Chains A and B, each alone.
Chain A
Amino acid sequence: MHRTLLCAMAFAVAWGTPLAARAQDPELSKLREEVRQLRQAYESRIQALEARLKETEAKAGKAEPSAAQAETAAAGTGTRPAGENAFNPAVSLILQGTLAGNSRDPGTYRISGFVPSGGEVAPPKRGFSLAESELNVSASVDPYFRGQLSAAFTPDNRVEVEEAYFQTLALGRGFTLKGGRFLSGIGYQNEIHQHAWDFQDASLVYKAFLGGRLNDDGLQLKWVAPTDLFVELGAELGRGRQFPGAEGNRNSVANAGSLFGHTGGDIGASMAWRAGLSYLRASPQDRGYGDLDSTGTGVNNTFSGKTRLWAVDGIFKWAPNGNSTQTNLKLQGEYFQRSEDGSLTYDTQAASLGTQSGSYSSRQSGWYLQGVYQFVPQWRVGYRYDRLGAGTTSIGQVSSGALSAADFPILGGYNAKRNTLMVDWSAGEFSRLRLQLARDYSRIGEPDNQILLQYIMSLGQHGAHRF
Chain B
Amino acid sequence: MKRKWLWSTLVAGFVALMVGFVPQPTQAATESYTIGTDVTFPPFEFANKQNQYVGIDIDLMNAIAKQQGFKVTIKPLGFNAAVQALEAGQIDGVIAGMSITPERQEKFAMSDPYYQSGTVMAVAKDAKIKGLSGLRGKRVAVKTGTASADYANAQKKKYGFSVVTFDDSNNMYQDVMTGNSAACFEDKPVMQYGIASGMKLKIVGKTTMKSDYGIAIKRSESATLLKKVNAGLKALKANGQYDKIVRKYLGNGSEAAQKKKTAGTSETDRSFMGLLKSNWGTLMSGLQQTLWLTILGILCATIVGVLVGLLGVVPNKFAQGAATTFIYIFRGLPMMVLALFIYSGVPSLINEKIPAFVAGIITLTLNEGAYTAAFVKGGIAAVNPGQMEAARSLGLPWGKAMRRVILPQGIKIMVPSFINQFIITLKDTSILSVLGLLELTQTGKIIIARNMEGFKIWSMIALIYLIIITLLTWLSNWVQKRVNAA
Q: Do A and B bind each other?
A: no
